Structure formats: structure tokens, C-alpha cells
Chains A and B, each alone.
Chain A
Amino acid sequence: MNTAAPEFAVAADDAWVPSSCSLCYGSCSILAHRVDGVVVKIEGNPESVVGKGKLCGKGVSGIMTHYDPNRLTKPLRRTNPKKGLGEDPGWKEISWDEALSELAEVLKKVRQDDPRKLVVQRTTTVTAGRTPFQTFAAAFGTPNFSVSGGGQHCGNGAHLISGIMHASWSVVPDFAYCNYAMYFGASKGHAAGHASCSNMGLAADARARGMKMVVVDPMANFAGAKATEWVPLRVGTDAALAMSMANVMVNELGMVDRPYLQARTNSPYLIGPDKRYVRDPESKKPLVWDTAANAARPFSEVAAADMALEGEFFANGVKCQPAFMKLKEHLLKFTPEWGESVSTVPAKNIRRLACEFATEARIGSTIMVDGVTLPYRPVAAVAFRGNQGHMNSTYNFFAVDLLNQLVGAADVVGSCLGFNPASKGFPETGRPRYVPTADEDGLMVTGMWMGYHYPYPAAEPRMPKNLGLQDLFVMGMTSPFLNSIDQEELWQKFEVPYRPEVLINFGANLMMSIGTSEVVAKSLERYKFIASFDLFLTETSQFADIVLPDASYLQSTDSRSNFPFIFSLPGGMGEWCWPIRQEVVPLDGEQRRFSEVLLDLADRVGMRADLNAAYNASMNLQTPYRLEGDNAYTFPEICDLELKNNFGPERGLEWFKEHGLIKWKKQPEEVYWRPFVDVRVPVYWEFMVSMWEKINAICEPRGVKIPQEYYDPLPDFLPCRSHLCQKSGFDFYAFYYRDTIHTNSFTMENPWLDEAAELDPFSYYVAIHAEVGKKKGLHDGQLVWVESEAGRKVKGRIRLTQAVHPEGLGIAACAGHWGKGMPVARGKGVFFNELLELDFDHVSPNNLNLDLCVKVRVTPVEV
């Protein structure tokens, strides 16, 4: 176990060390209290904007993860060549030199043969892992880089819509000014997700100020419990509700922000009968109808106020309509009565919610912030994981964000804000600087703060060369095909010219985080070699050939504990803040920091020059702070260069170790950037038309059907597999939710958090509606089987509650550990993902999102 460090174990050692948490990807700033070489307490750092001095239960419990006696302290080598569920690896302790020599030899051979045969996999929990592993993969030459269930379950829809509509990774209400927030399957500001601790305070203050919070969710848990109004709906039908609300706003109330739609969206662009833009023959720019000239003209030559939003016109020899007119007509079919039939939300409530949202938007109003007059739209519709976990997640998010777009509530005061997508940088250096730009069609392209941001500008679909097929399905960010049951069949169909052979895993527990364990196990068994960096022996590291004992966050240094630095920064006014992570205590046993091990490995493989180039590109290092040639920099040296690159030569790693962070004031033009930057967002996704044609041209001849309705330019409600299930007795829609007590499967080993979860009425239980349960003869605490249509079963205890939709069945993810390496976690809670099928039929053919809702039946366990 980790023990007091001798060099600190003197009476004078009593220090509060500024650093960053790593119990979830929020990476809040902390102060760790070290006494005589032992960390005795962890608190939020009040100096920092990241967390704003608050720290959640997970953060304060980090001390128990660090000092867990089950932490790995030596590299392990498997002696049993047979891999599989239940196989004992026969671990043998080896030296680091043995471990890295073997791994380097494997990597050298693969790199010589075909570098794409390496898959690099990392957990999302440790955001500081992104850059070192991304650069390692890029330097090695593999495009196969994945983030396990964290990406597949949580990101493909949410980040996609945040990117294309808000130039950001995620969205949040502008808590300081918002008066009416609608949450669709989200719990932002309630101890979960990006900027979690900062948002907790901001959301609480907003509610106290009187912000109305409407939570649309099958379960009233973390956000719903604090909401002004909880709107229970049938699982996976968010798009139906949002589209019905949009219909009321546009066609019944006529309450839309026309100047916004004219100036900052593609609403005026003329659409031809082929669903595409009608373009100027010479400039190729999309045409709009100029009401002043009574003629079709390129959008860039017409004043926004003169652009027609409605009507039918004749241009370029074809009949055409503005995109907004197309949207308006498209919405007509989504009547509130239809919405009720799909979502179960009463039609009268849909009308009321739409009216409240549109009225509270105060269309046409302005407000002054720090002396700058800005549009004021104090409403926001935000969605996240709940909206995400469905076949139709692209349209779920598109539909919800349309509510914002229709009233101009996008990145202005009080509205739905992207997380800090525009920064002018630190005043002395102007770095890091990001701002969205317009492409040739006038549409917004995200500022380059983390490389390419899906999905726009859309990549050209091609015969796939990536194992995840994202270069064919170009709306897909993270792919399930690295682990699906039909991966080989798909690779053969699409003629992928190689197969994965080596996996480097950083802390991800694939066996628990993706889908049913039997299928994931098969995908892991096919690797010839697996090396896994871990804190504990997980269910996934049991498949590894070599396990490398990682340092904890209290033993690590990183110049970017939040990457990109805007990732964990709260939206809205306040300050920019760049905190670092630093060692509070030294390493124990033979633990090593992953960042330094990767540099060592690069040297052994002979790719240091490539790695240096990848760091230069990833960190956007400028002369004189670029890494040169194949110089063997240490990781602290790289951190030092990055910090000086961004904040000046006097503010390197030592300066940051002393101060912990740097911050500077945000300006209104950065936070509310949208009026200042001439970019448009698409309310009509024209690019999807040709995208489908190109994807289908590759898929159809190979017998893979891609339904065109997943690529329509306007959102629709598309049912999940569970909505189509007709099997008798299968009358619950099972879903999982992220328990705010835990971070994925990782923290279940933490004894304090386990104790909190044991005390929580829901964490380790199966929640179903009380009346429905009683009608089925079920009682609180009863042990039941939850069985999927496909016959997959999990066991759990019932919790009867009023706080779940009558058709819903809620389980907190990702519990149910079975491995011996995490004894505190073992046997606790319910392993929901065991119910999930992992194949093409359960994946969105648009964004590759795995369907996370399952129709199930509940039967008592025979005693």
C-alpha cells in the first residue's frame, strides 16, 4: 500500500499543495493537505475557477483511492497464455525494464509491419491522459484511438451537436442570467459532468434567484429532484417532445427570432427539389432570396434583414424555398397530440412548455454586461447522456437545440452557452486563442482548440481504413466496432486491409463500460498482445499480457490537468483559468507515471522525433518552445515548455507549482461571442444529403443497409429497437443513469463512496414505479431478474419509487464488478451493460451511437 514518503516524513512537513482532482473528468482544482508525508485531507481550491473552491463527495474521497491497499505497485506479466472470462492470468511480478523491453519489441514489429494494428484506448476519467496518448498514437502512426464506453455512451450525439451548433464540446445554461432552463436527460449543475463542481454552485444560485428548471427525464434523480418541474417521458422519445414544442412555437405561436435566423443561421438559404442548396453558378455560394432586389443572390451579398425566410421562389431554373420554410412545413406533422402519443407527455403540457420557453426568451431584448450591450435570451434547452443513449441520438440533440435556435438563445446572455468556444488568450501572450470561423458556405467551423471537432465540416466518406469505421460513417466519433460481435464481418465487408493485434489500454475498463461482457471478452481475446496501465487489477486487465502500475493523480504532474483548458471551465462570465496538476506525494513501490512511461517507450521503439513532432502539433507549441529533433525531453520539461509557450518565459512549471494556476478576466465579447463573429449555424443539415449518398454507395453493394431517414437534413423521431419490441411480458424500458456518487466503474472501489452508495436508496438498486411494481406483486428490496428480449439477464434488488416513469426501469451504471482486484467494488449493484447487444443492428447508422435502452421483463428470483 502507499505509505508516508520518507523525504516528507519530518515534523516540519505541513503543506497545502495546489493541484487537480482526477476522480472524474471534471478535474476540479484542489488543495491537498500533506502532513509528515501523508495526505490527510483534500479540499476545493477557492482560488480556482475550476470548481470554484467546491469539491464533491468523489473529490474529497480521492484520498481513499490513493491509499487503497489494492493499488498495483509492481509490473505484472501473465503466465497463463489462455485468455477469457474466468481465466486466471497467473500473474508474475517483473521489472519495468523487462516489461518495457517486451512491449517495445512487440511495438517495433507492429510498427514495421503496419502501425494501424495498434489500438490505443484510454479512459475519459483522466483528462490529462488525452494528450500523451493522442501524441503517442499519432507518432506511432495509428488512427485507432478510442475512449471506451465513456465516448460511446456519452459523446457521439452530445458533442456532435455542441460542435456544430455551439462550436464547443458541451453546452450549459448561462446560469447567471438564465431564467428558464429545460434539461433533457441531463444533470449539469448537479454534481455530474463537465465543470461539475463549478456548475453545482452556479445552478444552485440560479435556482435561488428564481430560474425555473424543467427537467425532462424518465427518472427524477439528480436534476429532477431539484427541478421546478419534472416532466417524465417514455425512454428515448426526447426528440418527439422537442419537435412538438418546436411546432407549437413556429406554427401555433409564431414566436421565433427572425433577425437571428436571418443573420446567424442558414434559415434563408434556398433549398431546391433535390434537398440541396441552390447555388450561385459562378461563386458556388448558397443563394438567398433578396426581398429588396426581388431576386436570388449569394448570401454574402445580401443584408440579413432582406433575406426571405418564407415563401416559394424560382432560382437557377428550379422551384425553391428558404430552409426555414422547409423546417416550418416539416414541423407541422409533429402535433402536440402526436407528441403525447409517442412521449406520453400530455399535449396540453407540451403546448404550455413551448409557450413558456418562447415567452421567457424575450425575443428582441438586449442587456448590458460589463458596459457592452448584447442580445438577451434568458432560456436554454440542454441535453446530455439521457438523450444520447439511443439509436436516434443525432436527432434527439438536433431537435432539442432547435428550441434554442428558434428563439436566438445561442451563446448570448442568459441562453444556451457552448463551453467557452472563443478565447482571446492570456492578455500578455494572446495564447491560447480560439474563435469559430466561417467556411465558404458561411457555416460555422469550430475554433481549433482540440483538433478537428465532429461533425462539421464533414469529412468525405471513404472505404474505411479505421477499425471503428468512422472514416466511412463520418458522423461517428467513437465506435462500437472495436468490440462488437460482428466486427470481423464488417471489416471483411468493407475490405479493411488489416486487423488489430496490439492494444495499449490506459485505465479503461472495457469489460464493464461498453456492452455485454461475453462479446467484449471475445474482442479482447483476439489481440495478440495487451498492455494495460492501471491503478487496480480490473476486469479488463485480466486480459492483459502486461499490467503496468500507474501513479495516482496525487503523484503526478501535468501542465494541462484539464484538456483543453476550457473543458472544465464553467460557461458564462467570470475568469479564464489554467490550473496544473502536481505531485503531492512521491511514487510508491515501482509505480510510474504513464506520461513518463510513454516517453521511455517511444525511445525504445525509436520514434522520439515523431513523438516530439506530435507534441508540437498537439500543444501548438511555437518557437522557441518547440520540441526539437529527437531530443529526449522529460515530461516535466515538456510541461515547462507548454506553460512558457502560453504564458511567457517567466511562467514555467516551477512558477505554476508555486501558484497552482493562472487566471484572467473573461470579456463579454468572448463569453457572448456569437453576435461578434460572422458565422451561421445550420437549422437545415444540407450536408447530410450527399453524405448519405456517398456512404450508401459504399454500403449498398456490400449488403449493408443504411436507412436514408437517418440522414435527412431535418430532424425526425426515429424509434429505438426497444420501441419496436412486441414480445409479451417485456413491458419495461430499461435504462441506466450516471450515479453522481460514482465515476463510471472506477470509483466503486473507493470505500467512502461505496459506503455512500450503500446508504443511497437507489445506487445499487433497480428502480421501478411503485404502483406498477405493486400491481406486479413486487415489493421493495425484492431480488429480481431483469431479462432482455435477447435473453441476457442481470440480478438486482427492487426499489419502488414514484420518481420514475411507469414504463421505465432505472439502474445506476456501471456497478456489478466481479473481479478480485477491486474487492470493495465486487458484487455491489447491478451490471446494466450486460443487457446491451453490441452489433451493427443496435448502432445508429448515422453517428454510430450504441442503443442503450432495452425492453426487459422483471421476474422474481426463485429462492
Chain B
Amino acid sequence: MEVRWDAAVSGSRFWSEQPPVEPPMIAASNHGWIDVRVWPFGILADSRIERPIMLELGDGFTLRDVINGLEARCGAEFLDGMLDGKGELISHCRVFVDGRMIERLEQPVPSGPQADVEIILLVATEGG
């Protein structure tokens, strides 16, 4: 009997199950304004800009808000290594908010009254 390829395993929830240990996450709460400390590392660290870069963002801020804040503070050139031509994070840019990796720009970032944002560019995978 021929079985449709996509029917062989229908209904499995194997990959939707969450990992047993989730990274600690600070619950979102109503703090009004949040002090965001941005720590650019590696090529993004510019000796002309003191680290950390302080931003004040509203509750439920997103990574996009951080990017906009950085552009306003440091200029568009600062974002050159972080964003691609479509304004999205380049594939080897890593952003951590309070130690937790954030992958999507529009994702609201849970945090307490203060947040630390670390940004670094890794070099892309190389051959061998």
C-alpha cells in the first residue's frame, strides 16, 4: 500500500513539547519606563561611544525599539553591521536580553525595571 509521505506521522506533537529546563525569565510587569543598558561587543564596540549605551524604553519594548534607539543615539552607521538590506538582523548577529537570546526584532522583550542588552556579531560558519 502506498502511504502519503505527509500522512505517515500525522498528529505527532514531538517537536512542540517544550524543553524541561527553560532559561530563567523575568516576568513582564508594569514598570512604565525601563532603563535599558546596551552593550555592543566586538566590531560593534566603537571607542567613540561609551559602553553601555543607556536607553529609556517603554514596558514591553521590542528589539526593534532598541535598534531605533541605537540609531537615534549613535547614527545609522552603527547599525550597518547588525542589519541586512531589508532592515532585519543579519544571520550571525546575536542579541541577548538579560542573558536570554532574542531572535526576532518584533518580539516583546520581558524584563524588570532594568534590562541589559548584549549584542555581538559572530563570524559566519566556515568550511571544512
Which residues of A come within 8 Å of B, CB atoms? 25, 112, 115-116, 124, 134-135, 137-143, 145-147, 150-152, 154-156, 159, 257, 259-260, 262-264, 304-305, 363-366, 372-375, 408, 422, 424-425, 427-431, 433, 435, 450-454, 457, 459-460, 462, 470, 477-478, 609-610, 613-614, 616-618, 620, 622-623, 626, 667, 669, 673, 675-677
Chain A to chain B contacts (Cβ below 8 Å), 13 pairs: A259-B4, A259-B6, A364-B1, A375-B3, A430-B18, A452-B125, A477-B126, A477-B127, A613-B41, A622-B24, A675-B6, A676-B9, A676-B12
**Contact (Cβ within 8 A) A257 B5:** yes
Pick the residue among B14, B100, B122 that contacts A618 (CB under 8 A).
B122
Instruction: List the B side residues contacting A459 at CB < 8 Å.
Output: 84, 90-91
**Contact (Cβ within 8 A) B122 A451:** yes
**Contact (Cβ within 8 A) B126 A143:** no
Report the minimal beta-carbon distance from A668 to chain B, rounded to whole angstroms.
Answer: 9
> Does B59 have its Cβ within 8 Å of any Cβ on chain A?
no
Given known A151-B127, A451-B125, A623-B24, contact A616–B8 (CB-CB < 8 A): no
Pick the residue among A428, A478, A669 that contacts B126 (CB under 8 A).
A478
Determine the residue in chain B with the shortest Cβ distance to A362: B2
**Contact (Cβ within 8 A) A112 B127:** no
Instruction: List the A side residues contacting B15 at CB < 8 Å.
Output: 422, 424, 435, 669, 673, 676-677
Determine the residue in chain A with the shortest Cβ distance to B94: A617
**Contact (Cβ within 8 A) A373 B9:** yes
B interface residues, how many (CB within 8 angstroms): 47
CA distance in complex: A460, B7 (Å):
37
Given known A613-B39, A613-B118, contact A425–B19 (CB-CB < 8 A): yes
Report the minimal beta-carbon distance from A666 to chain B, rounded to whole angstroms.
Answer: 13
> Does B32 have its Cβ within 8 Å of any Cβ on chain A?
no
Most A CB contacts (10 A, CB to CB) among B2, B39, B86, B122 go to: B122
CA distance in complex: A156, B126 (Å):
9
**Contact (Cβ within 8 A) B127 A451:** no
**Contact (Cβ within 8 A) B127 A156:** yes
CA distance in complex: A305, B3 (Å):
12
CA distance in complex: A425, B17 (Å):
12
**Contact (Cβ within 8 A) A616 B5:** no
Most A CB contacts (10 A, CB to CB) among B43, B92, B124, B128 go to: B128
CA distance in complex: A335, B39 (Å):
59
**Contact (Cβ within 8 A) B118 A616:** yes
- Chain B positions 72-105 with a Cβ under 8 Å from a chain A Cβ: 84-86, 90-92, 94, 96, 98-101
Report the minimal beta-carbon distance from B114 to chain A, rounded to whole angstroms.
Answer: 15
Q: Which 7 A-B pairs have the closest CB atoms?
A: A430-B19, A155-B127, A151-B127, A364-B2, A124-B128, A141-B43, A452-B91
> Does B120 have its Cβ within 8 Å of any Cβ on chain A?
yes
**Contact (Cβ within 8 A) B47 A25:** no
Pick the residue among B20, B44, B118, B124 that contacts A452 (CB under 8 A).
B124
**Contact (Cβ within 8 A) A622 B100:** yes
**Contact (Cβ within 8 A) B122 A150:** no
Q: A154-B128, A452-B91, A617-B118 are in contact. List 16 more A-B contacts (CB 8 A).
A: A134-B123, A138-B42, A139-B42, A140-B42, A143-B43, A156-B127, A257-B5, A260-B6, A363-B2, A425-B19, A610-B45, A614-B41, A616-B118, A622-B100, A667-B14, A675-B6
**Contact (Cβ within 8 A) B9 A614:** no
Determine the residue in chain B with the shortest Cβ distance to A612: B41
Report the minimal beta-carbon distance from B104 to chain A, rounded to whole angstroms.
Answer: 11
CA distance in complex: A669, B8 (Å):
12
Most A CB contacts (10 A, CB to CB) among B86, B92, B94 go to: B94
CA distance in complex: A25, B126 (Å):
14
> Does B27 have its Cβ within 8 Å of any Cβ on chain A?
no
Instruction: List the B side residues contacting A124 at CB < 8 Å.
Output: 127-128
Given known A430-B19, A430-B20, A677-B15, contact A142–B122 (CB-CB < 8 A): no
Instruction: List the A side residues contacting B9 at CB < 8 Å.
Output: 372-374, 669, 675-676
CA distance in complex: A425, B2 (Å):
33
CA distance in complex: A373, B21 (Å):
29
Given known A617-B96, A623-B24, contact A470–B124 (CB-CB < 8 A): yes
CA distance in complex: A669, B90 (Å):
30
CA distance in complex: A563, B92 (Å):
17
CA distance in complex: A617, B19 (Å):
20
Report the minimal beta-carbon distance from B86 to chain A, rounded to whole angstroms.
Answer: 7
Instruction: List the A side residues contacting B14 at CB < 8 Å.
Output: 424, 667, 669, 676
Instruction: List the A side residues contacting B8 at CB < 8 Å.
Output: 366, 373-375, 675
